[in-house]
Amino acid sequence: MKALMFGWEFPPHILGGLGTASYGLTKGMATQSDMDITFVIPSPWGDEDRSFLQIIGANRVPVVWRDVDRHYVEQRIGESAENYFRFRNGIRYDFRRIGTDDLGCIHFSGRYPENLMEEISNYEAVGSVLAHVLEFDIIHSHDWLTYPAGRFAKHISGKPLVVHVHATDYDRSRGRVNPDVYRIEKEGMDAADHIITVSNLTRQTVIEKYHQHPDKVTTVHNAVEPLDFVNTLVKTPRKDKIVTFLGRITMQKGPEYFVEVAARALQKTQGVRFVMAGSGDMMSEMIRLVAKKGIADRFYFTGFLTGRKVYEMLTESDVYMMPSVSEPFGISPLEAMIAGTPCIISKQSGCAEILENAIKTDYWDIDVMADFIHAIVKYPALHRTLRKNGLDEIANIKWEYAGEKVRDIYNRLT
Amino acid sequence: MKSINFIFRIHQRFNLKHYAFFDIGNDHYYYDDYANESAMQATVENNCLEANRTLLEMIRSANGKFKVSFSISGLALEQFEQFAPAVIDSFRELAKTGCVEFLATPYAHSLAALYNEQEFVEQVTLQADKIKALFGRKPTVFANLALLYSDEIGEMVAGMGYKAILVEGAKHVLGWKSPHYLYHHINNPKLKLLVRNDKLSDDINYRFSQWQWDQYPLTAEKFVKWVSAAPAEEKVFNICMGYEALGLINSRSSGIFDFFKALPMFALEEGITFALPSECVERHKPIDVLSSIHPVSWTDEEKDISAWCGNELQQEALGKLYSLADRVHLCSDMLLKFDWLRLQDASHFFVMATKHYSNGKIYAQPIAYESPYHAFINYMNVLSDFMERVEAQFPSSVENEELNALLKTIYNQEKEIAQLKKKASQLKETRSKGTQK
């Protein structure tokens, strides 16, 4: 089974959960012996792990014919030009309206720039070239940015299209949907032969807001990669307990509820400190709110953390809190559990559907969350039990299982 | 002659209200009266009244040949008295037939037997007194909650003068032995052990309305056949379960009441009688010892105490609770004692079990908590407040022994004063007599 996947991010250079999920899922699927995955991303850095799949950078795929010789190409891209000439044979449409370089390739930022819509349509052009050249049995598009490319590839090749909904615009905007984004999402889902959602919550949104037939939508919950350096993470003994928020400080993640909870808990509980890690458009607002509540002496901002730093922060924490207003899945509580940190998560998160040994509340229920923080600080058995059961549970949430479910869907379609 | 002993356990879970940590120190009322009353109403309507009526009818129509016994916790009796006195009346009516026996059990349906001997003894005594006051007879046979039993518990029970105790027929205790005989305690041959037949009991309790069961439907005829199929030497069949099996776990429409109504006729036809535990104890001789160093109970597959103290949450909560026992025993505050009993209810700890998650347990009543962690936090908040109250009476800065000594001194002083007063009045009397002379 050969799968052509369109993605937007791939570790180690990631901006959000999408990259983590793409990596985990493809790695989990690669354990199936007959699975052959080609993963397209806009702009690879070159240090991606290519041991279990083939990565194609969209910025190395020519979309406009240029008469260049092999030597020149090799000099320019610094690697074998084999693929370049293979892909060049796939150019069937006139894309000269797009700005290209001397090799006929498009520049991609690979991020979420101002001209995102333009990048998405350029990516679509790359998709068409690849669809003409590559051999594959199924097309798999990760998130709305890649739906147009997937659709185009399906149109050209006639192969079935699976779109993977990691988030919808309803989650990102708390309901105030951008019509352009909605159009791209809806068109992608309409064209898809099957839709994979990361949680039942998202599945419901897809069915209700995007009017998809329920039979066409399947939930495949995300999982988490085991950490190879988990034994090197050590918690520094402290007198005070630490409660951590970790993620983008944006509307979707509900950071203001975290501040409210902190203020409420600090009214009656001593010996607890709060940390908000990450950055985002609501950060300065949060700093103001903390000052207004008068809890700045016990509330800290760390800024954006990556890689090992994330796990170090999680290990140092006694509680990880994710009061997301709307979270399609939310891998970070799973990461916290791997680090052995108990979690308080909102019921409005997709991961709440699969986690048993985490505390689940409504994101707005400040009193209950404060109560839990008090309990974890005051009753040590709670922390120990949550930690132990959480570690046991997380060891059984594997990407391989998610990969098997995706494979079942492939098998049904081909 | 073979005999079947039906023993029903009755307990009402005491629901705590949602108690946040902001309430600690401010609010000393811990109970969700609404939930308690509505649960009680459901029990009374679907279970107790109708079941009692059915049993009474069976006793009357069988001319006293049908017999049944109950083990009712003191807290349940209190709740009946408070919310549904009609239930007490119907139990009284059952008691009047003489075909009904009430067993002793810890008053608060508590795990005191595992944690504090003094508390255990006090609760069993309290319970026996309550039964005597309500139904006119003192129990002579003991049945712990969930038939919790170990050699140590057996010794405590024997020390209180009970002649028999009901125990679970757990495989790891019985081994190859049959539950259909009488056994005795390992050190004390006077304490007899009646063994519950877990297969037949669960057939009625859990499997009666399970249509997936290969023996479904269970009829009275079939059930009696199973009993009579046992070897002729096996005489005692203890069928013991929660009373909610009649009407709650197995709803009225499952035919559970008709099953029971039909039982006496089929049984008597096969020459099987019904008996009370105390009769069995007198009628039969124990054939062997039965011993268990570790506590056994009737819950789950494991038949142990892990449903109440299997994880750290439960151990912490129970440990904290019973660390207060000595101090609560010293005090005489009625309200404190009232809460003390209610906080010991084993069901508070049962809902903190993390091992139950996915094995699809059958509950007679829905659990009020979303997860064991919610249950733990709520309980600990309540317990924190209770601890503060105990602390206010007896500061923890005073050592238990010191406190004891002080209290003893006061008590002794009172005694001495009383003695001296008595002496003084005696002397006065003799003097007045002397002057008369």
pLDDT per residue over A360-370, tens digit each? Answer: 999 999 999 99
Task: Note the ipTM here.
Answer: 0.76
CA distances (Å), origin A13, targets A17, A19, A306, B115, B171: 11, 8, 10, 57, 58
pLDDT of residue A202: 93
Torsions phi, psi for A349 (to 5 deg): -105, 140
The tens digit of pLDDT for each residue in B99-141 reads 999 999 999 999 999 999 999 999 999 999 999 999 998 999 9
Question: To the nearest whole percent, how much of chain B has pLDDT over 90?
Answer: 60
Interface test with B, best of A353, A388, A389, A396 (most B CBs within 10 A): A389
Find out whether A104 and A66 touch, Cβ atoms under 8 Å: yes
CB pairs under 8 A between A and B: 59
> Which chain B residues touch A381 with a CB distance below 8 Å?
312-313, 315-317, 376
**Nearest by Cα to B196 from B185, B183, B180:** B180
Q: Which residue do the tokens 């037997």 mark?
A: B113
Q: CB contact, 8 Å: A357 with chain B?
A: yes
CA atoms of A342 and A321, how far apart (whole Å): 9
Tell me which chain B residue has its CA closest to the CA of residue A389: B354
Reported confidence tier of residue B359, pLDDT bands at 50, 70, 90: very low
Q: Which of A356, A367, A381 sits opposite B20 (nearest CB)?
A: A367
Interface test with A, best of B17, B18, B19, B21 (most A CBs within 10 A): B21
| In a domain? residue B324 | no
Residues B215 and B69 in one domain: yes
> Which chain A residues touch B381 with a CB distance below 8 Å?
371, 375
Residue B231 burial (CB < 10 Å; 0-12/13-18/19+)? exposed
| In a domain? residue B274 | yes
CB contact under 8 A, A385 and B371: no
Q: Which of A268, A269, A382 sits opposite B313 (nearest CB)?
A: A382
Which residues face B168 on adjacent strands? Answer: B196
Helix (H, G, I), strand (E, B) or coil at B190: coil
> Which chain B residues touch A374 with a CB distance below 8 Å?
21
Considering its fold, how many domains does chain B have in total? 2
Q: What is the largest CA-CA distance in chain B?
A: 95
Q: Which of A269, A360, A382 sits opposite B377 (nearest CB)?
A: A382
CA atoms of A69 and A406, how far apart (whole Å): 41
Last residue in a domain, options B262, B289, B316: B289
| In a domain? residue B280 | yes
Q: CB contact, 8 Å: A279 with chain B?
A: no
Q: How many CB atoms lie within 10 A of CB A211?
A: 10
Find out whether B103 and B7 touch, Cβ atoms under 8 Å: yes
Among A210-219, A305-314, B252-261, B401-410, where is mean pLDDT lowest? B401-410
Last residue in a domain, options B289, B312, B340: B289
| In a domain? residue B370 | no
**Nearest by Cα to A339 from A222, A234, A241, A245:** A234
pLDDT of residue B85: 92
CA distances (Å), origin A342, targets A242, A359, A372, A373, B429: 11, 8, 11, 11, 77
3-state secondary structure chain A: CEEEEECCCECCECCCHHHHHHHHHHHHHHCCCCCEEEEEECCCCCCCCCCCCEEEEHHHCCCCCCCCCHHHHHHHHCCCCHHHHHHHCCCCCCCCCCCCCCCCCCCCCCCCCCCHHHHHHHHHHHHHHHHHHCCCCEEEEECHHHHHHHHHHHHHHCCCEEEEECCCHHHHCCCCCCHHHHHHHHHHHHHCCEEEECCHHHHHHHHHHCCCCHHHEEECCCCCCCCCCHHHCCCCCCCCEEEEEECCCCHHHCHHHHHHHHHHHHHHCCCEEEEEECCCCCHHHHHHHHHHHCCHHHEEEEECCCCHHHHHHHHHCCEEEECCCCECCCCHHHHHHHCCCCEEEECCEHHHHCCCCCEEECCCCHHHHHHHHHHHHHCHHHHHHHHHHHHHHHCCCCHHHHHHHHHHHHHHHC
The DSSP element (H or E) to which B101 belongs, if any, is strand B100-102
Interface test with B, best of A361, A374, A376 (most B CBs within 10 A): A374
Q: Which of B22, B315, B370 sits opposite A268 (nearest CB)?
A: B22
Please give the single-letter amino acid code of residue A231.
N
Axis-axis angle for helices B74-83, B334-343 (nearest 10): 110
The tens digit of pLDDT for each residue in B360-377 reads 455 556 677 888 888 999
Find out whether B130 and B97 touch, Cβ atoms under 8 Å: no
Name residues whose C-beta falls within 8 Å of residue A240's C-beta, 6 or more positions apart in sequence. A271, A272, A273
Q: Which domain holds residue B252?
A: 3-289
CB contact under 8 A, A359 and B376: no
Residue B16 is part of a domain; what is its CATH number? 3.20.110.20
Q: Which of A356, A370, A381 sits opposite B312 (nearest CB)?
A: A381
> Which chain B residues touch A372 with a CB distance below 8 Å?
373, 377
Torsions phi, psi for B209 (to 5 deg): -105, 20
Q: Which residue do the tokens 């084993």 mark?
A: B346
Q: CB contact, 8 Å: A356 with chain B?
A: yes
| In a domain? residue B209 | yes
CB contact under 8 A, A381 and B354: no
Reported confidence tier of residue B195, pLDDT bands at 50, 70, 90: very high
Tokens of B431: 């003097």
CB contact under 8 A, A389 and B377: no
Among A197-201, B15-19, B393-397, where is mean pLDDT lowest? B393-397
pLDDT of residue A4: 95
Which residues face B274 on adjacent strands? Answer: B4
Reported confidence tier of residue B302, pLDDT bands at 50, 70, 90: confident
Q: How close are the terminal C-alpha atoms of chain B, in Å?
A: 76
Domains of chain A and CATH, by start = 2-223+400-413 (3.40.50.2000), 230-394 (3.40.50.2000)
Q: CB contact, 8 Å: B129 with chain A?
A: no
| In a domain? residue B179 | yes
Last residue in a domain, options B268, B289, B310: B289
| In a domain? residue B432 | yes
CA atoms of B41 and B18, how far apart (whole Å): 21
| In a domain? residue B325 | no
CB contact under 8 A, A268 and B315: no
Tokens of A199: 């949680």
Residues B408 and B274 in one domain: no
